[in-house]
Amino acid sequence: MSGTTSEPLRIGIAGLGTVGSGVVKIIRQKAALLADRSGRRIEIAGISARNRDKDRGVSLTSYDWEDDPVTLATRPDVDVFVELVGGSDGPAKAAVEAALKAGKDVVTANKALLAHHGQALAELAEANGCVLRFEAAVAGGIPVIKALTESLAGNDITRVMGVMNGTCNYILTRMESGGLTYAAAFAEADALGYLEADPQLDVGGIDAGHKLALLASIAFGTQVAFSSVELEGIGRVSIDDIRQASDMGYKIKLLGVCRLTGRGLEQSMSPCLVPATSPLGQLDGGTNMVVIDGDQVGQIVMRGAGAGEGPTASAVMGDIMDIARGTRVTTFGVPASTLIAATPAQAATPAPYYLRMDLADKPGALAKVAAALGDAGVSIHRMRQYDHVDNAAPVLIVTHKTTRAALDQALEAIPATGVVRDAPVALRIEAV
């Protein structure tokens, strides 16, 4: 271990679930490699979790145990506090605040905490000369936070988008590959243990929305604004949508998109269509992907495991190693005091849309739908009508680029024509 300093970097880890146990394993199994790469020994000074006796697949008997994570966070022999407890408030928030006030650097994988309290915590970190790092909070093992704050710092970012929840991507992929209904694919994901204790965090887009809000803050220098993210989950996506979108050359993904425009900050997390041949269209299973458009670099695509012990622990370890090397980066890439409170804006950038509706078997039905679209200023690019079943025929329409406001006007008018069975399904088509 030549080149290492005599002073180790001492870690306190709160939360010993899948990720926390993974971090312990890396530190134990790769001690020499970590020291050679960082110039310092990485040592665990103490640990904390709710259950001391749980078998975590790694021996913990050599580490000091603290029942209270706040106590661990403020111990004098802890240089870096690693928060893997989870939750936007409660013990996680209290411990992170205590660590920062005590002058400790903090590494966390807690997206909910930062999505709700990121601005205040960033200000607290800077006031106390600390760094607050959170690579593991977004897209698991994909180093997207480091890319935005460091590697791409010379770019004006124009758009960030991606698939950021592996569970949703798994469900949509299984619907297509297995011909499953949403309910059947959901049940399969649940049986495999892929869903959060509150499944709505996954399928409702909340988990991915937290991640998008953090990326938007870094990309555009804005204060984290999770409450302004337009959220729509995947519960309304049917197997018919999956099949019919495929017929027209598209795949459906729960897609996060953010941009800063003259109208304000657009942040949306919703089911979208992407070209089947695009990198996002070819993304299967529980994998994540983030696409970044910069004025200098062009478009870059980052793909990898979005969750799991190894990938997420790897991201936590990357932050610890940067601290060990002396790398000091502000939480969101710029001083917290310079982050602007952006005006929230509904996604208004024109885009084509996919529309699906069941058309009643009535004379002139299709003409009435076309007229409703035309009256709203929405023009039809492609259309496909399927055979009648029970006196109704599925009709698919791909529009030319239009604004969401114009589309909403058409969607309000179409049911009033009396020729559709239910409200049309409308999904944005995102260019990749």
Residues classed as catalytic: 211
Q: How far is CA 7 from CA 30, 35, 41, 107, in A?
A: 18, 11, 7, 20
- Contact (CB, 8 A) for 38 and 318: no
- Contact (CB, 8 A) for 291 and 116: no
Q: How far is CA 42 from CA 38, 102, 264, in A?
A: 9, 20, 44
How far, in Å, CA of 329 to CA of 107, rounded? 12
In degrees, rounded to 5, the angle at the alpha carbon of residue 188 between the alpha carbons of residues 183 and 189 is 100
Handedness of CA 405, 406, 409, 410 (dihedral sign): negative
Tell me how crowded residue 375 is: count the other CB atoms within 10 A of its CB: 11
Q: Say how far residue 32 (Cα) sits from the centre of its chain.
A: 33
- Contact (CB, 8 A) for 365 and 430: no
DSSP assignment, residue 417?
A: G
